[in-house]
């Protein structure tokens, strides 16, 4: 069987970097970053897809600076809303599949139980609104697509909460962390492994299972407890000379930001499990694997823990 050709966007981002490495075992990859493919340029997107003639498009590119999006609405919507629509239209034209990633920020956070795919969306921020519009643009194109909503993505590259905590832990004796926002951290490699495991089953398999899914590690936590877990994992490093800082819980109102975040953004993954027969590991297991540098348990084979 011929190896499929995948056009990957955002290849230098947290998720895209991991996808580029893992998908290469199963497909020929054309990896593009923001320099090679400007997702704010609809004509460039169309040309890239038509030149590549891919079997699968994996859109890992996004405008992820949540607070900056409040003052850069046009750029956020160009990349998060309009680009996915163009990719979907071009995927349909090429007879290709599309995999796209979205976010828990499409919800307003007023739920007391994990959100499923049928829950009404009501984003609080420009970022959330732009990502929701991207989902809708893909739907309007009527392309064969899988949309994976996820949350609290972190990794060992780029800008994210994990790296911020590691940096601040070396600079400060006290960290004040929001404790009234609840969600699920997701290591970018965990998400890439899950995606790769699905692609490995073959594009015909995916073509019969298109739709919207929530893709997330198991469990939930707050930013405060996530920070404590990061520091706990770091403190196990015997070579560490600086004592960990004290972590103080604070309310969202004590740390105002330009963009409003949902107070509760936990995603139910029941549909994903029912469709694909798999679950992702618990968020604590993924964090431990990330910080230890060791391999994560076999992708999607672990039962939820933590």
- Alpha-carbon gap, residue 305 to 264, rounded angstroms: 20
Per-residue pLDDT of the chain (306 residues; tens, 9 = 90+): 578 999 999 999 999 999 999 999 999 999 999 999 999 999 999 999 999 999 999 999 999 999 999 999 999 999 999 999 999 999 999 999 999 999 999 999 999 899 999 999 999 999 999 999 999 999 999 999 999 999 999 999 889 999 999 999 988 999 999 999 999 999 999 999 999 999 999 999 999 999 999 999 999 999 999 999 999 988 765 445 677 899 999 999 999 999 999 999 999 999 999 999 989 999 999 999 999 875 554 444 332 222
Instruction: Provide the residue range defining the domain that includes 217.
Output: 5-222+252-292
- Alpha-carbon gap, residue 197 to 181, rounded angstroms: 31
State the total domains in the chain.
1
**Active-site residue, 127 included:** yes
Closest CA to 138 of 108, 75, 96: 96
Model confidence pTM above 0.85: yes
Q: Residue 235 domain-assigned?
A: no
Which two three-digit tokens encode residue 257? Answer: 């930001």
Q: Residue 266 domain-assigned?
A: yes
- Alpha-carbon gap, residue 192 to 129, rounded angstroms: 24
Q: Residue 37 domain-assigned?
A: yes
CATH number at residue 86: 3.40.50.720
Q: Residue 243 domain-assigned?
A: no
Identify the active-site residue in 127, 154, 213, 224.
Answer: 127
Please check whether residue 194 is in contact with residue 277, taking contact to mean a CB–CB distance below 8 angstroms.
no
Q: Residue 284 domain-assigned?
A: yes
Which two three-digit tokens encode residue 18? Answer: 């991991």
């Amino acid at each position: 069987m011929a190896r499929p050709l995948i056009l990957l966007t955002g290849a230098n981002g947290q998720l895209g970097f991991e996808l580029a490495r893992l998908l290469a075992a199963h497909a020929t990859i054309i990896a593009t970053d923001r320099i090679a493919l400007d997702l704010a340029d609809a004509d460039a997107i169309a040309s890239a897809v038509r030149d590549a003639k891919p079997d699968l498009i994996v859109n890992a590119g996004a405008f992820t600076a949540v607070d900056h999006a409040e003052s850069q609405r046009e750029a956020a919507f160009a990349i998060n809303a309009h680009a996915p629509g163009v990719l979907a239209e071009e995927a349909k034209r090429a007879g290709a599949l599309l995999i796209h990633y979205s976010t828990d920020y499409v919800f307003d956070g007023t739920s007391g139980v994990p959100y499923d795919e049928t829950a009404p969306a009501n984003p609080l921020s420009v970022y959330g609104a732009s990502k929701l519009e991207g989902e809708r643009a893909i739907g309007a194109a009527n392309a064969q697509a899988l949309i994976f909503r996820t949350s609290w993505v972190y990794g060992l590259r780029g800008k994210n909460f994990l790296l911020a905590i590691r940096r601040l832990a070396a600079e400060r004796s006290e960290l004040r962390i929001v404790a009234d926002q609840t969600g699920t951290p997701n290591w970018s490699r965990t998400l890439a492994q899950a995606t790769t495991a699905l692609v490995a089953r073959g594009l015909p398999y995916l073509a019969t299972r298109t739709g919207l899914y929530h893709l997330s590690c198991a469990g939930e936590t707050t930013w405060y407890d996530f920070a404590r877990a990061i520091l706990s994992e770091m403190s196990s490093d015997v070579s560490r000379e600086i004592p960990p800082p004290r972590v103080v819980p604070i309310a969202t109102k004590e740390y105002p930001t330009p963009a409003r975040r949902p107070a509760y953004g936990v995603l139910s993954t029941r549909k994903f499990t029912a469709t694909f027969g798999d679950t992702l590991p618990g968020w604590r297991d993924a964090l431990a694997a990330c910080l230890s540098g060791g391999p994560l348990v076999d992708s999607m084979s672990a039962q939820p823990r933590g």
